[in-house]
Amino acid sequence: MEGLTSTAVPRAKVLVLAIDAANPALLIRWAEDGTLPHIRSLLARGLVGETRSLDGFFVGSTWPSFCTGLTPARHGFHYTVQLERGTYEFRRAAAGELVTCAPFWSHLSRAGRRVAILDVPLTRIDASINGLQVVEWGGHDAVYGFQTWPPGVAGALASRFGAHPLHGPCDAARRSPEDYMTFADALVRGVRTKASMTRHILQQGGWDFFIQVFTEAHCAGHQCWHLHDVTHPGHDPSIALATGDPLRRVYAAIDAAIGDVLAEAGDALVVVLVAHGMSYWYGAQFLLADILFRLGVACPPVASPIRSDVFRTAIAGARWAWRRLPDSMRALLPRREQSERVLTVGVDPSRSACFPVHNGQATGGIRLNLIGREPRGILDPGAADAFSEGLAAALLAIVDERTDQPLVRRVIRTADVYSGEHLDDLPDILVDWNDAVATGSTQIADGAGAVVRARSPRIGTLEGANHYGRTGEHRQQGVFMVAGPGLKGGRLDRITSILDFAPTFARLFGVDLPQSDGHPLPELLQSQGQRA
């Protein structure tokens, strides 16, 4: 890249250090109070901007969209559990099975650029890569297992650095204070080891593009938000007194890791990126199916009471047993056994005009049971617009009984926002739950969740308990900081889409992506120039 002044071979020309699913406001607050000195330095001297992930798909699709510069309507992946085409069954799919477009670093590789791609979530091995790739040495989304390209690198890294200290999935239904402290310790040690690994690979030098993602913030946010947030219904002061604030510990460890890596960066253009955020989750998504039943737009499956009770008991028992297996035992099970296959959409298709689909907890997904698209569709496509408008109005009329605030913040018709060859693989309607509702939720007696009471003229009063295993959930908002030779610092006066980074990184090396829904950031291109 033009603008580099050093005559030595640079460690990397562009170095990206990403923090997966951190809370931007906490990063800034803890930077200002001195907890995060390296982020504080970047905020003071770098170009700083807000980022925004995708409407409706910021839980499951952020990283595939970051990597490709495309929306899920074009790359095909919206969540880790998706509807099987032509069926009413779901399957838990690895992103690589569904993302049909190459990530930007593949295009850089084909153009002769040397890249290092480390722990980018929901990405699979690219055997054509010009450089090095590490998949899931440590990551929240454990889909593929630890792999590298070239393959022999895995053994060398394992021998030198060992396995990530957090063995197995980071999710758990309940933890004791001791468990939380052990969990946080493992995340902190994982960050420190990842920093050492990053420096080791970076020191090889000659990288054009280099990215490492600290996914430990993701795990900490989902599992420990209630220990940080004293207003959370799951907050227990006695437990928090024993554990301290795991989020602060993990964020501080990541900040120290960033400092260690930047000490090796030389004249690199450095980007520190939070692609999507994290905040509290009390939640109302668990009510969506019952709301659709009460509205009369979906009907539960027909089953005999005995069979239904046995089935529900068996499923509940299996899930109870799974949650209580030690992480080490869960990690030993074959991946097919680990992936919970949800057999059906949970409605009677012959009597349901729509049905809920998996899309995460922050934004619900609804699919229309269209004639000609679904196997047993009953809704005429010509009536879809009127039906969707009526359903949106009914959802927006629901309030939280304790606060009298709307239960739903907004309803989005997916086709009004997105277009592409995979549009029909996405939910047709997206339901953004209102964050403010949670302030009225009531803690249930055993401390394992919170009660939400929803009310409207059409549904009456509907009550349910959120037995959350996670107390933090994603947000669209993120932040980025850029520093490097010739780069003018300051604050961007606009919000940057997560889709803009792929075309920006490609264009920095004179490469144009064959297709992109994002746009290169002119501030980065103008400051560094483009190298053919």
The reply to whether 456 and 502 lie within a common domain is no
376 within domain boundaries: yes
User: Is the predicted pLDDT of residue 168 greater than 80, yes or no?
Assistant: no
Residue 386: which region, alpha, beta or left (left: phi > 0; alpha: psi -120 to 50)? Answer: alpha
DSSP 3-state assignment of 200? helix
What would the two tokens of residue 474 be?
Answer: 């994603």
The amino acid at residue 511 is V
245 within domain boundaries: yes
Q: How far apart are CA 83 and CA 90, in angstroms?
A: 4
Q: How far apart are CA 33 and CA 500, in angstroms?
A: 31
The reply to whether 234 and 383 lie within a common domain is no
- Chain segment 122-135, per-residue pLDDT in tens: 999 999 999 999 99
The reply to whether 325 and 369 lie within a common domain is no
The per-residue pLDDT for 398 is 97
The per-residue pLDDT for 448 is 52
The reply to whether 438 and 334 lie within a common domain is no
Q: How far apart are CA 399 and CA 408, in angstroms?
A: 8
Looking at 343, 358, 393, the residue that finishes a domain is: 343
Cβ–Cβ < 8 Å for 55, 417: yes
Cβ–Cβ < 8 Å for 291, 459: yes
7 within domain boundaries: no
- Paired strand residues for 269: 14
CB atoms within 10 A of CB 7: 6
The per-residue pLDDT for 316 is 43
Residue 442 confidence class, pLDDT cut points 50, 70, 90: low
CB atoms within 10 A of CB 484: 22
Could you tell me the CATH number of the domain that includes residue 112? 3.40.720.10
Q: Report CA dihedral (88, 91, 95, 98) to the nearest 10 degrees.
A: -40
3 within domain boundaries: no
The per-residue pLDDT for 532 is 38
The reply to whether 111 and 218 lie within a common domain is yes
409 within domain boundaries: yes
- Chain segment 279-288, per-residue pLDDT in tens: 988 778 999 9
Residues 180-203 as b or e (16 or more Cβ within 10 Å = b) = bbebbebbbbbbbbbbebbbebbe
The reply to whether 390 and 490 lie within a common domain is no
399 within domain boundaries: yes
CB atoms within 10 A of CB 526: 12
- Chain segment 303-344, per-residue pLDDT in tens: 644 334 444 444 444 444 434 444 444 444 444 333 444 447
> What is the share, in percent, of the chain residues with pLDDT greater than 70?
85
The reply to whether 399 and 448 lie within a common domain is yes
Cβ–Cβ < 8 Å for 399, 406: yes
Cβ–Cβ < 8 Å for 482, 271: yes
Counted domains in the chain:
3
1 within domain boundaries: no
The reply to whether 295 and 276 lie within a common domain is no
Average pLDDT on 8-29 reads: 92
Cβ–Cβ < 8 Å for 212, 194: yes
Residue 461 confidence class, pLDDT cut points 50, 70, 90: very high
User: Is the predicted pLDDT of residue 367 greater than 80, yes or no?
Assistant: yes
In 397-491, alpha helices (H)? 414-417
The label of the residue with tokens 């970047």 reads 42
Q: How far apart are CA 220 and CA 61, in angstroms?
A: 20
Report residue 387 CA to chain centroid gap.
31
DSSP 3-state assignment of 419? coil
Q: Which residue segment(s) compose the domain that 334 sits in? A: 302-343
The reply to whether 295 and 310 lie within a common domain is no
Looking at 449, 467, 485, the residue that finishes a domain is: 467
The reply to whether 313 and 373 lie within a common domain is no
The per-residue pLDDT for 459 is 98
Return all residues near 233 (Cβ < 8 A) that are at least 6 apart: 226, 282, 438, 441, 442, 443, 449, 450
What would the two tokens of residue 428 be?
Answer: 């047709």
The per-residue pLDDT for 96 is 62
Q: How far apart are CA 478 and CA 277, in angstroms?
A: 5
217 within domain boundaries: yes
The reply to whether 388 and 436 lie within a common domain is yes
The reply to whether 508 and 438 lie within a common domain is no
Q: How far apart are CA 80 and CA 91, in angstroms?
A: 8
The per-residue pLDDT for 177 is 92
- Chain segment 185-225, per-residue pLDDT in tens: 999 999 999 999 999 999 999 999 999 999 999 999 999 99
